[in-house]
Amino acid sequence: MYHKRFEELLEIVNAITFKKIDERLLALLRKKQELTGNNILNITHEQLANELGTARVVVSRLLKQLEEMGTVRLGRNKITLM
């Protein structure tokens, strides 16, 4: 159990250090989709920002860009992955 948690910690540190925030956001959304088995995620921009360690406005801006690209559809406290 400790080994698994340590690997998760290393993965998080690696993501923060070497990946851009937009890549981290998309990876987080995909991981949540995989865990829930649902394309609709009931989560706020603030919750995502807290998990990524960034500001809500940054997450909102990136989600808007993803929506314009057709990757996600935004709703109130809801994000639908396409």
- Residue 38 in any domain: the answer is yes
- Residue 2 in any domain: the answer is no
pLDDT, tens only, 44-55: 999 999 998 889
The angle that helices 2-18 and 21-36 make with each other, rounded to 10 degrees, is 140
Q: Flag whether pLDDT at 17 surpasses 70.
A: no
| Residue 67: domain span | 20-81
- Residue 14 in any domain: the answer is no
Q: Flag whether pLDDT at 24 surpasses 90.
A: no
Q: How much is the pLDDT for 80?
A: 95
pLDDT, tens only, 27-70: 999 999 999 999 999 999 999 999 988 899 989 999 999 999 99
- Residue 13 in any domain: the answer is no
Whose structure tokens read 């990876």?
Answer: 27
CA distances from 64 to 10, 17, 43 (A): 29, 24, 15
- CATH number at 53 reads 1.10.10.10
- Residue 49 in any domain: the answer is yes
pLDDT band at 21 (very low <50, low <70, confident <90, very high): confident
pTM score, whole prediction: 0.77
- Residue 25 in any domain: the answer is yes
Count: domains in the chain:
1
